Amino acid sequence: MQNKTISMDAAHDFYAKMPLARAIPLGLQHVFAMFVGNLTPLLIIMGACGIAGGEFADLQVSVLQNAMFVAGVVTLVQLFAIGPIGGKVPIIMGTSSGFIGVFNSVAATMGGGVLAYGAIMGASILGGLFETVLGFFLKPLRRFFPAVVTGTVVLSIGLSLISVGINSFGGGNSAKDFGSMENLLLALFVLVVILVVKHGCSGFLGSSAIFVGIIAGYIAAIIMGFVLPTTAVDADGVEFTKAWVLNWDKVAQADWFSVPKLIPVKPVFDLRAILPVLVMFIVTAVETVGDISGVMEGG
């Protein structure tokens, strides 16, 4: 066999320091990409509990703040490790959409409201402790998680989320113009841009495909606002703003800096929530093994 010299730049060297000119855009891509994935499950679950918007607007903002804050802290712990905690794996930690179905079922069983959300939190705390203990015994249990099992679980969870993506494609569940041609074309445009950049470009640009798609989508939405009607009238004769229209009012009204209130909802420990959530934590443990294995093999 002929020896080959493998050349690795900072993007592939485990201990290398990537220049900030490359690290910052790639880091922003991760943040923007995780924003939707990290917050959408919360919005769906809070909606299922009936505590989204209105009188619960401040609570919703606090929960979303906590989701991003904790995801950032845990991502750093994962990257740099504190003792035995953290695998030094370059992955973004955050919420899992795999729990949406279970949490929606719990909310329906308990009748929704803050109590149901508190039960979901209580069950998640116990589930987190359970998965922490499982982590210490993962090495002997690893033989029960071959690639065919973890791959199938990750594939199944991905397929189960197609409905979430389709809903967003149409403009969102609550959009009065759901499925309109403007919503579908804008979503399709972003998807095409991401695929073209991902598979048609190499190096830094190819790695930033999602970031490029997000920027392209915003630019397209701005242009659409100049050339297309931004409002319509529903069946009751009430005027509404179309889902694809950008609205920066909440951004303008928001504080530049705000410290999130930790644990804004009091945890409730109820077996109706604990039992199904613990089962889901076992499933997501298999998902995590598959995700991290894929990242490590790809890297």
**For 176-189, what is each residue's pLDDT tens digit?**
899 999 999 999 99
Write out the residue range of the structural domain in which residue 135 sits.
27-165+262-299
Question: Does the predicted model carry a pTM greater than 0.85?
Answer: no
Residue 247 contacts by C-beta under 8 Å, 6 or more apart in sequence? Answer: 241
Regarding whether 121 and 232 lie in a shared domain, the answer is no
Residue 8, pLDDT score: 45
Q: Using 50, 70 and 90 to split pLDDT, how confident is the model at 125?
A: very high
- As for how many domains the chain has, the answer is 2
* Averaged pLDDT, 210-233: 91
Measured distance CA(45)–CA(107) in Å, rounded:
8
Q: Specify if 3 maps to a domain.
A: no
Which of 81-85, 134-138, 222-226 has the weakest average pLDDT? 134-138
| 168-174 long-range contacts, CB within 8 A, separation 24+ | 168/36, 168/40, 171/242, 171/243, 171/244, 172/243
Q: Using 50, 70 and 90 to split pLDDT, how confident is the model at 3?
A: very low
Regarding whether 140 and 60 lie in a shared domain, the answer is yes
Q: Specify if 6 maps to a domain.
A: no
Nearest residue to 40 via CA among 91, 85, 97: 97
Residue 85 in tokens? 């905690």
Rounded percentage of the chain residues whose pLDDT exceeds 90:
25
Q: Specify if 253 maps to a domain.
A: no
Q: Specify if 250 maps to a domain.
A: no
Residue 143, pLDDT score: 75
Regarding whether 89 and 138 lie in a shared domain, the answer is yes
Regarding whether 151 and 47 lie in a shared domain, the answer is yes
Regarding whether 109 and 50 lie in a shared domain, the answer is yes
Burial profile 107-116: b = 16 or more Cβ within 10 angstroms, e = fewer = beebebebbb
Regarding whether 116 and 46 lie in a shared domain, the answer is yes
Most confident range, picked from 23-27, 134-138, 188-192, 288-292: 188-192
Measured distance CA(274)–CA(128) in Å, rounded:
11
Measured distance CA(66)–CA(124) in Å, rounded:
15
Q: Specify if 8 maps to a domain.
A: no
Regarding whether 207 and 185 lie in a shared domain, the answer is yes
Which of 39-43, 105-109, 178-182, 230-234 has the weakest average pLDDT? 39-43
* Residue 41 scores a pLDDT above 80: yes
Regarding whether 97 and 237 lie in a shared domain, the answer is no
Q: Specify if 15 maps to a domain.
A: no
Torsion-angle region of residue 18: left (phi > 0), alpha (psi -120 to 50) or beta?
Answer: beta
Q: Specify if 115 maps to a domain.
A: yes
Residue 116, pLDDT score: 93
Regarding whether 151 and 216 lie in a shared domain, the answer is no
Q: Specify if 34 maps to a domain.
A: yes
Render pLDDT for 8-38 as a digit per residue (tens, 0 to 9).
Answer: 455 556 666 778 887 788 788 778 777 777 8
Regarding whether 180 and 78 lie in a shared domain, the answer is no
Regarding whether 193 and 155 lie in a shared domain, the answer is no
Residue 7, pLDDT score: 41
Regarding whether 203 and 273 lie in a shared domain, the answer is no
Residue 19 in tokens? 């220049």
Packing angle of the helix pair 271-298, 113-136 (nearest 10 deg): 50
